[in-house]
Structure 1
Amino acid sequence: MFKQLFKPTTTTTTTTTLIKRFMSASTPIKNSPFKAKVTSIEPLTNGKWIQTKKINYDDPNGNSRVWEMAIRTTRSTTTNIDAVSIVSILHNHANDSKEIVLVKQFRPPTEQVVIELPAGLIDPNESIESTAIRELIEETGYYGTFKSQSIPIFSDPGLTNANMVLAYVDVDLNDPKNQSPQPKLEPGEFIITFTLPLNNLLHSLEEICEKENCTIDARLYHFAKGLELAQQL
């Protein structure tokens, strides 16, 4: 998949246009996620969205052991999947250039703004495909075509049973609905949407982090590193 998505380009006009468009369509500066901060941290046993559990299990030698984990309370019973993370590629057919749609948002556990792939929880009775399409529209304003999905994958298996599916959604810039994308954020969401060329994606992400003092979600970093390795191998 990396080799199919990656194609170097020397054209910069499209990139500049995309970034300028998103700067005007992003969250107003007064609601910038960079203004958020943690004010306190308190012990929590069972919360509205997350609970902690103690697991008793036997290791391969028959010894009884204990493990602590966190779980989401919102897992969809329809799909048995917690969330969808979206790889969305913008195609400009005029010059065959490709860019990836990304978001920045403040994540309280990290106390930083995190660069991520668009993502969201699966609502009750919602499919993986409909979640991917809906979340892409809500967070970025882009209308896309669902192409494929991964097997269920786990975000941090040493800490939680939270799982997700990686969805690939194609966005056609020639579609009139994608000429002036406007995110449809919910109350309490403060997200900046932007795009980066697939070419040299990892380098671009690291430059942004150094300049803006933010960090990168591991899944996005692994994706970018995979693109880099695909060039080298």
Structure 2
Amino acid sequence: MSGQPKVLSSVDLPTDQAKWISLKKITYRDAEGKERPWECAERRTRKSTGVDAVAMLAMIKSKTNAFPLSTVIIEQYRPPIDAFVVELPAGLIDEGESAEDAALRELVEETGFKAERIIESSPVIVSDPGMTNANMKLVLLSVTLPGEMETPEAQLEAGEFITKRVVALADLNEELKAYDKRGFVVDARLSHFAQGYDLARRVKEGEFA
């Protein structure tokens, strides 16, 4: 790589020139019958399934218990916030592809890990419904390694610059706090999962009893 990525310019984009999103002005009627305006961004890439994207939570374990239950997270630069973001692996769903099939494919492409089965697939969820209609599913995947931790090669597309890291689930929340101190931005979905996992542990240990 020739250097650190950075935003070089930012200009207003006419809707007719946008490839991935469009801006919409919504007029809706509120609970009291009054008409109100709302502005939002809409994806132009949504396929016939009605679901835009999928995020993958890989549960990585060893048949010999050589390492603790872990997951894989990724680091990548995101131009809209001009910063490196720590996220779950994720990707758009192709036409004719289910969210679950997309999860299996994207996990290999972004991390190199191959899941042997799908544990669970969430309902359709949204992240920022006051801003956009973008939606997604979260798919929980099982990855079982024969022994020690492996680092398979990702199959990144041109223009993708992703760094993957495997982190023990028990350490994930503290690792994300460390990322914040290093100047990274943590994705909300990953942060919420890590905090929830840590909170569940604390509840189980009787901290709030």
Deviation digits for residues 184-218 of structure 1, max 9, x if unmatched? 0000100001111111311111112313x111000
2:156 and 2:29 map into 1 onto residues whose CA distance is 45
Unaligned runs of 5+ in 1: 1-29
1:42 aligns with 2:21: no
State the SS of the aligned residue for 2:50. coil
Deviation at 1:138, TM superposition (A): 0.3
Higher relative contact order (CA 8 A, sep 6+): 1
Cα distance change, pair 31–203 in 1 and its aligned pair in 2 (3 A): farther
1:123 aligns with 2:98: no
Among candidates 106, 115, 126, match of residue 154 of structure 1: 126
Unaligned runs of 5+ in 2: 204-209
2:34 and 2:180 map into 1 onto residues whose CA distance is 45
1:217 aligns with 2:187: yes
State the SS of the aligned residue for 2:81. coil
Among candidates 63, 88, 93, match of residue 63 of structure 2: 93
Count of paired positions:
199
1:56 and 1:45 map into 2 onto residues whose CA distance is 21
**Which residue does the alignment assign to 1:168?**
140
TM-score by length of 2: 0.90
1:197 and 1:45 map into 2 onto residues whose CA distance is 45
Q: Percent identity?
A: 42
State the SS of the aligned residue for 2:160. coil
**Which residue does the alignment assign to 2:35?**
64
State the SS of the aligned residue for 2:69. strand
CA RMSD of aligned residues (A): 1.7
Task: Give runs of ≥4 in structure 1 deviating > 3 Å.
Answer: none
Deviation digits for residues 37-67 of structure 1, max 9, x if unmatched? 1111111232100110010011111111000
1:231 aligns with 2:201: yes
1:113 aligns with 2:122: no
State the SS of the aligned residue for 1:97. coil
